Amino acid sequence: MEQRVSDIIEAKRDTLIELSDTIWGIPETRFEEFQSAELLCQALEQEGFAVERGVAGIETAFIGTFGSGAPVVAVLGEFDALSGLSQEGGSAVKSPVQKGGNGHGCGHNLLGTASLAAVIALKQVMEEEGIPGTVRYYGCPGEEGGSGKTYMVRAGLFDDVDFSVTWHPMGHNGIMAANSLANYQVYYRFRGISSHAAASPHLGRSALDAVELMNVGVNYLREHVIPEARMHYAVTNTGGRSPNVVQAEADVLYLIRAPKVSQVEEIYQRVCNIARGAALMTDTTVEIVFDKACSNLVQNKTLEDVMQEKFERLGLPDYDTDELAFAAALRATLSDAEKNSVKDPAIRNKDIADRISPPEELSVAASAGNGSTDVGDVSLVTPTAQCNTACWVVGTTAHTWQVVSIGRTSIAHKGMLHAGKVMAATALEVMQSPVLIEQAKAELKQRLGAEKYVSPIPPEVQPAASR
């Protein structure tokens, strides 16, 4: 079965690479991925999938479906980029294509395309072998700062899914035996009164002062929250560029993280009190605008064990001398701290990962990590497994120009196609085993205990490119 999956994806190799590179070349940020989403929709339709566009009230969210009945497998695809990470492809020198432009600094051009490869292989094998069931490609926009999947889960789009598979490009190979942090993203908008900063400062009320005081207050809060929590902020509106004006408006965007949604909620309320206090201190007002949220990830070892087995049976890609030379040049741009952050000692001094890291090594890495993903919401409502394949050089961190640079090279393409093979082979194995599906569901139920899924995004909050 693994060989057949591999053959199908290899036969589509050139088409898939061209699609990934095209999406890389039109980097679109959260909920504005109109071209990227349409390219994937058209590719699905060409492969015989029925595509529903604009699901969950999001223009760039879609579902491609093949088959009918149970079991239902969801393959998750992403395709959004990041702002400010424009970079030339295949370069070992930081060189933006467009200053301040967007770039695929998390490899989602690869992510969405590999998931497409997986469902293409799934469909063809299902047809050839007469395997019953439904395979769905979930086109999930806005993972970066938008939590598109959380909105899709809230809309009930995963309610009948038996299990899900997905992946993420990384600098290593292995099963993503990981936890993640839940988060809230919230705008704090302060409004005051403008005035001449020299002639009549007493008549002004500085919204910018309020933002600064809020940030100071939150920085003092850090000592008094759980150590796993994270609070980041970006001042998105300083009120102007004239220092001789008392700034009448200023906005700050906060991202608050913790292992559980309930912990995020508690910290969020404290941050809101700090914001209100800053408004009182400056005689300004503050508007609190909830932007988005996502839940923590729940592992499923039943599915992960199957995925690990398929990964081992499929092996790893080979690399030629040119690829190895580029990897060495790009890795030379990383700091010693980045290189030493690699948890698997067997690959720490390699340029490209040359083994499948054991789950225990990656679980150590995951426990030290503090990222968030909207896959978490999917994993709370249906058993979910993820893998990572080496698309970046060892030690690369996400959201960097190095990720953008390597994202349209043959190194990344090989990792992308391999991820498609691992996901398809895993899904086929599970689809044909009702026992595995029931075990995966029982494990999820056991892990959740009495916990019932509640969307962390309030019902009145709707997805938006910006607020």
How confident is the model over 311-340, as pLDDT tens digits?
999 999 999 999 999 999 999 999 999 999
Alpha helices in 85-206 (DSSP H): 108-129, 148-154
What is the per-residue DSSP string for 410-450?
Answer: HHHHHHHHHHHHHHHHHHHHHHT-HHHHHHHHHHHHHHHTT
- Has residue 413 got a pLDDT over 90? yes
Using the CB atoms, write b or e for 142-168: b if 16+ within 10 Å. Answer: bbbbbbbbbbbbbeebbeebbbbbbbb
- Has residue 378 got a pLDDT over 80? yes
Alpha carbons within 13 A on the beta-carbon side of 244 = 3
pLDDT band at 261 (very low <50, low <70, confident <90, very high): very high
* pLDDT given for residue 141 in this prediction: 98
* pLDDT given for residue 359 in this prediction: 83
Domain ranges across the chain:
2-178+296-448, 182-293
**22-39 average pLDDT score:** 98
Cβ atoms of 205 and 286 closer than 8 Å: no
- Has residue 365 got a pLDDT over 50? no
**188-212 average pLDDT score:** 98
* pLDDT given for residue 343 in this prediction: 85
What is the per-residue DSSP string for 319-381?
Answer: --HHHHHHHHHHHTTS-HHHHHT-S-TTTTT-SS--SB--HHHHHHHHHH-----THHHHHHH
Rounded-to-integer distance, Cα 190 and Cα 272, Å: 12
Choice between 450 and 208, residue whose per-residue pLDDT is larger: 208
Third-level CATH fold of 2-178+296-448: Aminopeptidase (3.40.630)
**208-235 average pLDDT score:** 97
Choice between 294 and 360, residue whose per-residue pLDDT is larger: 294
* pLDDT given for residue 370 in this prediction: 66
pLDDT band at 368 (very low <50, low <70, confident <90, very high): very low
pLDDT more than 90, % of the chain: 94
- Has residue 302 got a pLDDT over 90? yes
Radius of gyration of the chain (CA): 23
- Has residue 367 got a pLDDT over 50? no
* pLDDT given for residue 466 in this prediction: 74
Name beta bridge partners: 33: none
What is the per-residue DSSP string for 98-120?
Answer: STT--B-TT-HHHHHHHHHHHHH
Q: What is the mean pLDDT of the chain?
A: 96
Cβ atoms of 226 and 258 closer than 8 Å: yes
* pLDDT given for residue 179 in this prediction: 84
pTM of the predicted protein model: 0.95
Q: Could you count the other beta carbons within 10 Å of the beta carbon of residue 345?
A: 9
**383-410 average pLDDT score:** 97
- Has residue 101 got a pLDDT over 60? yes
pLDDT band at 177 (very low <50, low <70, confident <90, very high): confident
Rounded-to-integer distance, Cα 368 and Cα 227, Å: 12
Helical axes 108-129 vs 410-431, angle rounded to 10° = 40
How confident is the model over 69-95, as pLDDT tens digits?
999 999 999 999 999 999 999 999 999
Third-level CATH fold of 182-293: Alpha-Beta Plaits (3.30.70)
